[in-house]
Amino acid sequence: MVRLCRFMVTPVDRSFQGLFVGLMTLDLVYQTERLPSANEKRVASDYTVAAGGPATNAAVTFCHLGHRASVLGVLGSHPLTHLICTDLETCGVAISDLAPGRTEPPPVSSILVTETTGERAVISINAINAQATTEQIPDAILSGIDIVLLDGHQMQIGWAIAQQARHHQIPVVVDGGSWKPGFETVLSLADYAICSANFHPPKCQTDTEVMAYLASLGIPHLVITHGEQPIHYQTHGQEGWLEVPSVPVVDTLGAGDIFHGAFCSSILQTNFLAALTQAAQVAALSCQSFGTRRWMQAN
């Protein structure tokens, strides 16, 4: 089932269409002076409710930058999904639901953001109990698609979509937030692997080991992000480091996801290093506002 939504358009050289495959959650985000200790209650200084998940936040960013985006994942018909749908409609993102008849509640994330540092603490349920099969993929899902992002939360679906994308010469971006079983099959089909410093394939602990592992899979463009520290990249065997903007941090929630969405926008319009630079600038902008949406209101 596809829910088509309106689009917020900002000026770009050309409007592209992206497919973002993975997790859809409902995020309950609280800003607090400090994290509560055991058996303590605290009153938040601010809060927000939004759709979340790596692929979802990337799709929202892609749309905000003037393109069209859809999220392919498991949502269902539980009353809580209305909040997710409403937020994504407001953001201009379409939903392709792999399990529209599912009645279980969607994953809900509770997130605490510390005021003084912008660091976040997250507790959530991922998509491990809501895995779809390839038979549930809508027909012609890649029609008109210019780029695909996979976050690894629907591994079988991601593998099938990546295969189709490669056949149609559509670039595939893999969001490697953390290692998940089966990632090696999806990564082998990627054009761009953008991983966090917490992404550790089997027997890999250092950047050097992770880069070597990813390169062995034949991925031409590799990235490891380190928060406010420089980005480590490798493109066609050439390694380097890219400085990221230094900004006053209010909230780091979703910064990596926003980076990925901005990269998907930029890589369709410029070269690899320029796309990384532009993505880092957008992610830095997002860190200066609370939550995953308010930075868009100021931009």
CA 49, CA 53: separation in Å to the nearest integer?
13
> Do residues 67 and 267 touch, judged by C-beta distance below 8 A?
no
Strand partners, 113: 31, 120
Neighbours of 90 (CB within 10 A): 15
pLDDT of 11 strictly over 90: no
Average pLDDT estimate for 39-49: 93
Computed over every residue of the chain, the mean pLDDT equals 93
> Quick one: CA dihedral 220, 62, 287, 248, positive or negative?
positive
- Nearest CA-CA partner of 222 in 173, 150, 154: 173
CA 156, CA 146: separation in Å to the nearest integer?
21
pLDDT digits (tens, 9 = 90+) for 54-110: 999 999 999 999 999 999 999 999 999 999 999 999 999 999 999 999 999 999 999
**Pairs from 227-230 (Cβ < 8 Å, separation ≥ 24):** 227/197, 227/252, 227/255
Amino acid identity of 79? P
Exposed/middle/buried for residue 125 (C-beta within 10 Å: 0-12, 13-18, 19+): middle
pLDDT of 175 strictly over 60: yes
* pLDDT value, residue 299: 63
> Do residues 106 and 25 touch, judged by C-beta distance below 8 A?
yes
- Quick one: tokens of 257? 């996801």
Local structure of 52: helix, strand or coil: strand
Give how many domains the chain has, as a whole number: 1
pLDDT band with cut points at 50, 70 and 90 for residue 130? confident
pLDDT band with cut points at 50, 70 and 90 for residue 4? very low
CA 38, CA 18: separation in Å to the nearest integer?
43
pLDDT digits (tens, 9 = 90+) for 19-31: 999 999 999 999 9
> Number of C-alpha atoms within 13 angstroms, CB side, residue 163?
8
Which structural domain, as residue segments, surrounds residue 182?
A: 2-297
Q: Where are the beta strands (DSSP E) in the chain?
A: 2-3, 17-21, 25-32, 46-52, 68-73, 93-97, 108-114, 120-123, 147-150, 172-176, 192-196, 221-226, 229-235, 238-242
Q: When comparing pLDDT for 253 and 127, which is higher?
A: 253
CATH assignment of the domain containing 99: 3.40.1190.20
* pLDDT value, residue 5: 33
pLDDT digits (tens, 9 = 90+) for 207-250: 999 999 999 999 999 999 999 999 999 999 999 999 999 999 99
pLDDT band with cut points at 50, 70 and 90 for residue 128? confident
- Nearest CA-CA partner of 66 in 268, 245, 252: 268
